[in-house]
Amino acid sequence: MKSKENTINMEIGIDSFAAMFSGNTSKIINDADAIAQLLERIEHADNSGLDVFGIGEHHRKGFLDSAPALILAAGAARTKRIRLTSAVTVLSAADPVRVFQNFATLDLISGGRAEMVAGRGSFIEAFPLFGYKLEDYDDLFAEKLDLLLKIRDNEFVTWSGKFRPALKNQPVYPRPVQDPFPIWVGVGGTPESFIRAGTLGLPLMVAIIGGETHQFRPLVDLYREAGKEAGYLPGQLKVGVHSLGYVANTTQEATDDFYPGYAEAMTKVGKERGWPPMTRSRFEAQTGPKGALLVGSPEEVAEKVLRHSKALGGISRLTFQMDTAEVPHKKLMQAIELIGTRLKPLVAGNLESSH
């Protein structure tokens, strides 16, 4: 029998952007039905043995996640075990006091199952919406993360900064169940972001939505080196990966379900960002052995998850983001069950046998 110290665990979960898509049919569901279906998926993820469910934050048409803590609180009332997190909280455009209060309340509602991934967001709508300047993008995040951590670690807060009125021995309530409350830093591809997370000793959530996963290894190494220099132990420097993916009974079924909506969505976003249209050959490169997309059968994707973990020097958490492809609710429910009951045990078994 292996000792606990030698057993390596990887949490497996789902991230959703509460996308109110049509499911590739002419019948577009209404917002209330889309939220009801999302809550069903959160409950089903809990029942299927998944470890975590994350809700993103967007402020644009087509997404219903502008208030993620509310969705997660509704999910908390319907679940018993699964951890509930943001994915990500757009901290740059928010008030850290209010963010902390919302997630501390979620932690109380869920009995200590709440977490937060703080990031800057990949879209820019939140900045003009809440009266911030986009050119302050990085300074806003750095300052607000500093305040958020101060609130987390102190009931009475004295703090001053550039973008928010100062706090002078001001108490912040409620306090969460968990102490310290888990705050991850969500990052894309900016070296400074990886170094900052390491210096602060915060767990890292890397969004890998394209390219080849191993290309992120130098950035992850920067994070670990910065954390080590700051005096943190390797076990404190957790790395998670947020990946676009989808699992079906067979790889062919997964591809047939996922590709049409994925190609349409990525082509649409590409027009905003100057990317070329998504093609079948590019998609197949992404679903290949080194590509970032986790699309296929439970067995094939489990193997790829293990390869990704090895390529990055070990990961503690992996979340599937399936909204992108406009897959219908029934298919998403099937994918959640397959990830929980077939893929997760395969990953766990292989991790144990290799240590």
* pLDDT tens sequence across 274-328: 888 888 999 999 999 889 999 999 999 999 999 999 999 999 999 999 988 889 9
8 A C-beta contact, residue 343 and residue 247 = yes
Q: What is the pLDDT of residue 8?
A: 63
* pLDDT tens sequence across 162-187: 999 999 999 999 999 999 999 999 99
Mean pLDDT of the chain: 92
Residue 156 has pLDDT above 90, yes or no: yes
**What is the SS3 assignment for 320?**
strand
Closest Cα partner for 293 from 334, 325, 327, 328? 325
Q: What is the pLDDT of residue 143?
A: 97
List the structure tokens of 182: 């888990």
Residue 352 has pLDDT above 80, yes or no: no
Mean pLDDT of 253-271: 90
> Strand locations in the chain, DSSP E?
11-16, 52-55, 83-86, 89-90, 114-119, 156-159, 167-171, 183-187, 204-208, 239-247, 294-296, 317-321
Q: What is the pLDDT of residue 61?
A: 87
8 A C-beta contact, residue 108 and residue 177 = yes
What backbone phi and psi angles, to 5 degrees, belong to 163?
Answer: -105, -10
* pLDDT tens sequence across 63-108: 999 999 999 999 999 999 999 999 999 999 999 999 999 999 999 9
Domains (range + CATH), the chain: 4-307+315-353 (3.20.20.30)
pLDDT above 90 covers what percent of the chain? 79
